[in-house]
Chain A
Amino acid sequence: MIRSILTAAALFASASTLAADTLKMAVTTSFHNSGLSEILLPEIQKDIGLEVQLIVVGTGQAIRLGEAGDVDAILVHSRKAEEAFLEGGFGTHRREIMYNDFVLVGPSDDPAKIAGVETAKEALTAIAVNEAPFASRGDDSGTHKMELALWNTAGIDDTKRGTSWYNEAGAGMGATLNTAAGLNAYVLTDRASWLNFGNKQSLTLLFSGDPVLFNQYAFLPVNPEMHPHVKHDLAMNLENWLTSARAAELINSYTINGETLFTFNAEQMLKAAE
C-alpha cells in the first residue's frame, strides 16, 4: 500500500516537469494574499494553456530570484528596485499592469487620531508623536520600501522610531497584519491584502486617498541573454495575456465586499518587446 502511495506521489512529483508549458514567476505577497492570483491563474491556463507557478515572496527576494535566473519573470511593485533590476541587465523591460493603493490600518479607537488628517505625512507624524504601536514589514519588500519613504518625507528617520512602539515584523504582508492585529498596532498595507485578510480583530481602515500612496504593479521578464534557460517566449505570452482586454475585465471586476481591489492600467498599444 505504501508503495502504491509513493508511486502515485512520484507521478505527480514528476508531472510538473513533464508538462510542456510551465512558467515560474516570483510575485509579491501582497499580490497573492489579495486572492487575485487564484482568479487569474486558472483563466491563463484555460486561455493560453500556460501553467504559471507562483513563488510568493517580498519584492526584495523576488528581484533576487530574477537576478539569479531562478524564475522566468517577476511581478512586483517597487519602481526604484525595478529600475535598478533593468539597469543591471537582468530584465528585458518593465510593463505596468495594474495599480491599487496603500492604506493605513490601525486600532479602531485610533489613539493617534489619524482618521481625520489630510496627508500620509501628517498621519505618520501623529503616530510617531503619540508613540502609538506601529508594525512594519521590515523585509525589504515593496510595501516596506514605500513605508520607509513615507517616514523619510515626514522627517522621522531610523533613530527617531523608538523600539518601544515601532515593531519590525520581518515578514510578509499577511504575517505582518497578524502581528499588527495582535499588538493592536498601526500598519501600512496595500488595500487588496487588507480587504482579503481574515483576522482583522479590532483593526480598521483609518487613512487612505493621499496620491503618494499610489501602488503600481509591473511585470518584468528575466533577460534571456543573461540566463539562456529562461522561458522568454512564454513570459511574453503571459505578458500579452496580462495586458489584454480579457485580463483587464478580470482584474477590474475582482471585488471583495463590493470594493474594487485593483485597477488595470497597462497600455494596450505599447510595443511588447524591443
Chain B
Amino acid sequence: MLEIWQGIQAAFWLIVTFDADLYEIAARSLFVTCSAVAIAALVGLPLGAWLAVSRYRFRRFVIAMLNALMGLPPVVVGLVVYLMLSRSGPFGVMGLLFTPWAMIIAQVIILTPLIASIAHQSIRDLWAEYHDLLISLNTTRSQRIKTLLWDSRRALLTAALAGFGRGIGEVGAIMIVGGNIDHVTRVMTTAIALETSKGDFALAIGLGFVLIGLAIAVNLALHVLSGTEVRDRW
C-alpha cells in the first residue's frame, strides 16, 4: 500500500519537474497509439459501415469473426508481426523491426477489428432507421455509407476512443516488436513493465498514474473539441 502513496508522489514530482524522459516516453506513447488509431479508423470505420449496409453470403459468419477478432491477443499479434518484420522474415529488408513504425503496425492490426466492430454495431442500428429513406431517395451505396458515417459520428468517436484505450494501455505486442529500447521505442507501458521488473514499484506505479492521467486528458480534450455535452445538447 505504501508504494501506491509513493507512486502518487513520484508521479507528481515527475510532472512538476518536467522530467525530460517522462515527457519523451509519454509523447512517444501518444504518437504510436494516435497514429495507430488514425490508420485503424481510416480502415475500420468505412469497413464497419460497408458491412452494415451490404448484403452478402455468410454475413453472420463474417460479423461473428469480426467481433471475435476484437479479442485478438496482443502478444500473438506481436509475435506474428515480429516474424514478418524480422530480418529472416518476408519484410525484413525494410528494417522496420525495433522502430516505432513496427509498434504502429502491430497496434493497427489489434485496433482495426475493434474499431470496425463497434462502428458496425452503431451503424447497423442507424441503418435500420434510415433504410427506407435512403432507398427511396435512390442513393448509391457510397452515398449511404457517407451519410451513415456522418450521422453516427458520435458513436464513431466512441469507437475511436475505445481503440485509443486499448492501444495506449497495450504492452504485449509493442514489447516484442519495439524491444523497449531507451530513447527509441520505450513507451509508458513498457517503461512500467521495466520498472516493475527492477522491483521499483513506486516509480512503476507513478508512471501508471501518469498514463491514466494521459488517457483522461486525451478523452477530455476530444470531447471538448467535438463540442459534446454542452447545455441542452446531447
Mark A residues whose CB is within 8 Å of B.
2, 5-6, 8-10, 12-13, 16-17, 24, 29, 33, 53-56, 67-70, 171-175, 177-178, 181, 196-200, 227, 229
Contact = CB atoms under 8 A, between A and B. Distances in A.
Contacts of B64: none
Contacts of A67: 88
Contacts of B31: 5-6, 9-10, 13
Interface residues of B, number: 33
A177 B201 CA distance: 13
Given A16-B99, A70-B98, A199-B201, A9 B30 contact: yes
A173 B197 CA distance: 7
18 contacts: A8-B27, A9-B30, A16-B184, A53-B98, A53-B179, A53-B181, A53-B182, A55-B98, A55-B179, A67-B88, A68-B86, A68-B89, A70-B87, A172-B197, A174-B196, A178-B196, A197-B198, A229-B87
Nearest to B35: A6
A168 B77 CA distance: 25
A184 B51 CA distance: 54
* Shortest beta-carbon contacts, A-B, top 8: A9-B31, A174-B197, A199-B199, A198-B199, A69-B87, A55-B179, A68-B88, A13-B100
A104 to B, nearest CB: 18
A117 B127 CA distance: 76
B199 A70 contact: no
A23 B27 CA distance: 24
Contacts of A69: 86-88, 92
B176 to A, nearest CB: 10
A70 B30 contact: no
Contacts of A175: 196-197
Contact of B182 (A9, A54, A227): A54
B73 interface: no
Interface in B183-234: 183-184, 194, 196-201, 221
A6 B33 CA distance: 11
B69 interface: no
Contacts of A12: 24, 27-28
B95 interface: yes
Nearest to B100: A13
A178 B199 contact: yes
B34 interface: yes
Contacts of B197: 29, 33, 171-175, 178
Interface string B1-43: 0000000000000000000000010011011001100000000
A17 B99 contact: yes
B199 A197 contact: yes
A5 B99 CA distance: 19
Contacts of A33: 197-198
A67 B87 CA distance: 9
Given A12-B24, A13-B100, A174-B197, A55 B180 contact: yes
A16 B97 CA distance: 13
Contacts of B180: 55-56
A95 B92 CA distance: 28
B17 to A, nearest CB: 19
